Amino acid sequence: MKPRPTILIRADASPEIGTGHVMRCLALAEALMEQGALPVFCGAQITPALVSLLADAGFAHHQINAAQDAAATQALCQSLAVKGLVVDSYTLDSRWRAAVHQSGLAVLALDDLADRTLHADLVWNPAPAGGGIAYDRLAPKAVRLFGDDYVLIRREIRDLITTQRPPLPDRTHLLVTFGGSDPAGLTVPVIKRLGPMLPLGVVLDVVVGGSNPNLACCRAAAARFPACRLHVDSRAMGRLIAESGLAITAGGGTVAEMAALATPTLLVAVADNQAGAAEDARRRDWAEVLDARGQPAGAMADIIAATALALWHNPTRRDSLARRIAGIDGQGAPRVAAALLHLIEVAG
């Protein structure tokens, strides 16, 4: 029996940068484990809530000394006898990547910026064209895993894709989630706007992460409205998405989860790195799209609430969005995992 190859996953999370890097790496780690690998996480920043989530999923996390990042990562690779390295970061520059790549490991770069030399053997980008021709220069020898077929969906969502779900007209839940830390601070004002305006019988499900710096305010705002249910570090995100007649979400991996379960979506771009994906969603008519970048949270919450309620009262439009966003088969994580493990096997 072959030994299980250890894969080190380098990703950070904090209230400031959000939790998306770790969450999409979790989807990949699940698939790697399913295919016989031993994924291990490391990073210079992470929240206690995410450490707990990773532990519950069976994954260890090692803290990296940020002052000696590349050397510490290399030392960890050596001590764990790592065979492959997954790098998902907007802050690790080309010098860091070159230093780590010299170790001879198979390196997979998760990247959706196309703004630096990656020094990787595999490059993942979920955009349809994967950033155009930029990777000819940034990763000239890398195998490219681009587009919808490689979108990273967590197992919780994958398991629901083929199950029977309530038809859209029967769904009475409106879902709100602005990421694990909600760096734009939209959750509280959106609760306050939507709470008193919900149609009769509609439940407002609000999902927040334990790393949200405004968690106490979220709890207080949700408690004001009987139809509002606050979910902190939810372990049932798939069920919440599947029973929603409309989801309001920031850009990022959650949009792919909505697509996998064909849930109509109001997409709110809150950061520059979400702009490309938001424009792609608008172009393909996958979602109603709003741009919240640089906008005051209160004023933006007014727009979000008004747009969401208009969509709720327009079942024809929601049905159209659900049909258009459908089509992600949810098998991207297994495909990416298989590509990395194949590379490791070929390298011997």
Residue 178 placed within a domain: yes
Task: Provide the pLDDT for residue 321.
Answer: 96
Confidence (pTM)? 0.92
Task: Provide the pLDDT for residue 260.
Answer: 93
Looking at the structure, tell me whether residues 246 and 277 fall in a common domain: yes
Per-residue pLDDT tens over the stretch 229-251: 999 989 899 999 999 999 999 97
Percent of the chain with pLDDT over 90: 78
Q: Would you say residue 273 has pLDDT above 80?
A: no
Task: Provide the pLDDT for residue 246.
Answer: 98
Per-residue pLDDT tens over the stretch 279-301: 888 888 999 999 999 999 999 99
Residue 309 placed within a domain: yes
Residue 19 placed within a domain: yes
Looking at the structure, tell me whether residues 89 and 200 fall in a common domain: no
Residue 1 placed within a domain: no
Indicate the number of domains in the chain: 2
CA dihedral 252, 254, 259, 260 (to 10 degrees): 130
Looking at the structure, tell me whether residues 129 and 179 fall in a common domain: no
Per-residue pLDDT tens over the stretch 78-95: 999 999 999 999 999 999
DSSP H helices in 80-145? 94-101, 135-138
Looking at the structure, tell me whether residues 216 and 313 fall in a common domain: yes
The secondary structure of residue 148, as a DSSP letter, is G
Task: Provide the pLDDT for residue 105.
Answer: 93
Structural domain of residue 248, as residue ranges?
A: 156-325
CATH of the domain at 68: 3.40.50.11190
Residue 242 placed within a domain: yes
Tell me, what amino acid is at 272?
Answer: D
Looking at the structure, tell me whether residues 204 and 229 fall in a common domain: yes
Looking at the structure, tell me whether residues 30 and 51 fall in a common domain: yes
Per-residue pLDDT tens over the stretch 103-132: 889 999 999 888 999 999 999 998 776 666
- Quick count: other Cβ atoms within 10 Å of Cβ 247? 26
| Pairwise CA distance, residues 250 & 101, whole Å | 33
Q: What phi-psi label fits residue 220: left (phi over 0), alpha (psi between -120 and 50 degrees) or beta? A: alpha
Looking at the structure, tell me whether residues 262 and 129 fall in a common domain: no
Q: Would you say residue 255 has pLDDT above 90?
A: no
| Pairwise CA distance, residues 308 & 320, whole Å | 15
Residue 75 placed within a domain: yes
Looking at the structure, tell me whether residues 63 and 167 fall in a common domain: no
Residue 260 placed within a domain: yes
Q: Would you say residue 21 has pLDDT above 90?
A: yes
Q: Would you say residue 19 has pLDDT above 70?
A: yes
Residue 300 placed within a domain: yes
| Mean pLDDT along residues 187-204 | 97
Looking at the structure, tell me whether residues 17 and 146 fall in a common domain: yes
Looking at the structure, tell me whether residues 182 and 301 fall in a common domain: yes
Looking at the structure, tell me whether residues 161 and 307 fall in a common domain: yes
| Cβ proximity of 328 and 260 under 8 Å | yes
The full DSSP string for 182-208 is -TT--HHHHHHHHGGGPPTT-EEEEEE
Name which residue leads in pLDDT, 252 or 178.
178
Per-residue pLDDT tens over the stretch 204-219: 999 998 878 899 999 9
Question: At 10, phi and psi to the nearest 5?
Answer: -105, 110
**In sequence order, what E strands does 196-324 have?**
203-208, 228-232, 244-250, 265-269, 288-291
Q: What is the mean pLDDT of the chain?
A: 93
CATH of the domain at 160: 3.40.50.2000
Per-residue pLDDT tens over the stretch 34-84: 999 999 999 999 999 899 999 999 999 999 999 899 999 999 999 999 999
Looking at the structure, tell me whether residues 342 and 311 fall in a common domain: no
